[in-house]
Amino acid sequence: MGEEFIVKLLVKKQLREFVEFIKFPMIIYSYETGKLIASNQLAKELIGENVTNVNKIWEGGVKQRFSAELLENGSGIYFRKYVYRKEGKIEIDIEFSSIPIGERHMIIGIFEQSYKQPFFKDLTIQLPRIKWKNKKLDVLGVNTVLTQDMEIAKEDFYVWNKSEMSSEIKLLKEKKVQTDVIQPVVWKKNQRRFAKVNRFPLTNKNGTAVGMLIIYQIILEKEEYHQLFNSTLRVNNILSEAIGQSNMIVVSRQENDTMPVEYISSNISRLGYHVHEFYSGEVTWIDIIYKEDREAFFKWIKQGSYGNKFLHQEYRILKKNGEIAWIRDEMLGITICGDISYRQSIIKDITEEKLSRFEGVTIDDSKKEIEELLRKAEAKEYIEFDVYYQPIVESGTKKVIAAESLLRWKNPEKGFINPVEFISVSEYLGMIGALGDVVFREAFTMCRTINKHIDSEFKMHINLSTIQLTQPDIVEHICKFARETRVKKSNIVFEVKESLAIEDMRVMQKVLIKLKQQGFFLLLDDFGIGKSSLGTLTELPFDYIKIDKSFMKAYETEQFNPNLLTAIVDLAHSLKIKVIISGIETKQQKEFLLMSDIDEYQGYYFGYPVEKDKFTFGEC
């Protein structure tokens, strides 16, 4: 499995999600092979659910051959074509548009049953308008329907928004998908209409951006635009059943200083509020966010991006009765109307998940206890905290060549407190920076000592959190500790969680590049088996990946896939990235890995995290 294959998987997955935003039957396939790349549900209802090769849906399974003119950024309409499926044949009218990408051609087909006459007279207003551009964002081609619009209008079909070009430059550079942006357009003799605009960056087989696909869908009347916009904000059919059966709250908010609420589901009553308090403006979203968490909330808002469904943030809010609740705010998407952005989110109450980790202690008492213990530790300048080190072993020599530094808290009253229980609370109390400094100082000093007396190339791994990486001066802050301890920067490896790297790609890219320029090494931690993980390797400057311990946990089960491990290692090595695997706990797991090309091992089999005085070297 090479990088080219992975890129294809990523693009295919993204295209499948993208076409679902087009409310007209659409397929995208390879002209050379006929292989279906993506189709929306409307298309599947016509051609069948299980189609994998478009050539097979035509009479006799014969490939539709296009002229050289059509293949070179052209478009054409074909009437009364028969589609053959299990239920019988149907007659469709279809428009094919061809986009050359390298030596191949991506075909976009929009179609409907012939009796509906989709390509005749005024009915064409319902059809998607398709435009594609090169990497300089010059227009290479448009579909037939859009050509007709331009001939009638005697001018190009365009979006009024003056920031369109700069927006597309940014999307192409970051290879970001943009969906359902509602914008005004010029259409037919200077008539002003509204359209939903969807943009998809086109990439070649190496994953390099080569152009932009833009699809417009005209909204018939201005009144319909308002209706559609309001329904987009206020109705989510997919979630309605889930909302009714859970404690999730759906909310849509304007993105400004106060975050006024445009829509909120009625189960906000779980927190003591009534929907009318938000609709009247009496209460805004910012009003209910715990004061100490507002700064972190706004940082998260600024990091949001169109098309990314996985962004989330955890923070505290105030219930109507004054009690505090922990919530997870998961962004569904962003709708744009003119200059106003509206953010849709699912809100989940995670109070119990956050606070019920102490046996025999109530939720409220445990939260209060953690805060009190942290404040006492702060007053003592965090002397209760110490750094432990877990060995990392080189696969070829079985020697300890590195260690991961891990923060531990031994409280005189409660004993050891799990990091899961205190890290998130320390973040929201504003203490995570000080705790991070404990790790920087101790781990850098430990590394310097080992480099001087035992192994000059020994490396120290240090975890970086979201809060740390979003600090504006984090790179200089780290460099200050490096100067003070005189540690060799190339012997420090900073570990970043996979989920953080994917969700906050734009922010991470800038910070990680700066760290790399300073001479530090970078590792993508908890590396999973998702396609998004593999694509992240080409986006950010990592030197290592650490395969998530869940992989070895599945060893000797039906879910274990050794071929996947080989593929990941081969891909990483092709990108000159070293591979560490964590979670090794048994001799059998170790012996299995001897047959792989893994570079380094980590896990309880080789050693538990220990204090610096108990850390040992040698062969494992």
- pLDDT tens readout for residues 408-447: 999 998 888 888 778 877 876 778 889 999 999 999 999 9
Residue 298, Cβ density class (10 Å: 0-12 exposed, 13-18 middle, ≥19 buried): middle
Read off the DSSP letter of residue 359.
T
Across the range 513-536, mean pLDDT stands at 77
Q: Which contacts (CB < 8 Å, 24+ apart) does range 272-279 have?
A: 272/319, 272/320, 272/321, 273/320
Q: Is the pLDDT of residue 407 over 90?
A: yes
Query: Comparing 197 with 2, which gets the higher pLDDT?
Result: 197
Edge-to-edge order in the sheet of strand 36-39? 36-39, 26-30, 104-113, 88-101, 75-85
The predicted structure's pLDDT at residue 2? 42
Tens-place pLDDT, residues 2-30? 444 444 555 677 888 889 889 889 999 99
Give the global pTM: 0.47
Give the 3-state secondary structure percentages of the chain, helix then strand then coil, rounded to 5: 40, 30, 30
- How confident is the model at residue 453, as a pLDDT? 94
From CA 398, how far away is CA 472, in angstroms rounded? Answer: 40
Q: Which of 10-24, 213-227, 529-543, 605-619 has the highest mean pLDDT?
A: 605-619
What pLDDT score does 508 carry?
73
Q: Which of 350, 287, 255 is nearest to 278 (CA)?
A: 287
Nearest to 351 by CA among 382, 323, 379: 323
Answer for the pair 317, 186: CB distance below 8 angstroms, yes or no: no
* 41-67: burial string, b at 16+ Cβ within 10 Å, e else: ebbeebbbeebeebbbbeeeeeebebe
pLDDT at residue 615, rounded to an integer = 93
91-134 pLDDT tens trace: 899 999 999 988 889 999 999 888 777 887 656 777 899 999 99
Q: Which fold has domain 229-353?
A: Beta-Lactamase (3.30.450)
Q: Which CATH class is domain 365-610?
A: alpha beta
Tell me the HSE value of 571 on the side-chain side, using a 13 A CA sphere: 24
Higher-scoring residue by pLDDT: 3, 557: 557
What are 289-323's pLDDT values in tens digits?
Answer: 988 888 888 888 776 543 343 467 888 898 887 77
pLDDT of residue 246: 55
Location of each CATH 3.30.450.20 domain in the chain: 3-220, 229-353
Residues 446-461: pLDDT tens digits? 999 999 999 999 999 9
Confidence band for 202, pLDDT divided at 50, 70 and 90:
confident
Q: Which of 579, 582, 554 lies closest to 569 in space, CA to CA?
A: 579
Is the per-residue pLDDT at 610 higher than 70?
yes
Distance CA 167, CA 411 (A): 51
Q: Which residues contact 30 (CB under 8 A, 6 or more apart)?
A: 37, 104, 105, 106, 107
The C-alpha R_g of the chain, in whole angstroms, comes to 28
Q: Does domain 3-220 have CATH number 3.30.450.20?
A: yes
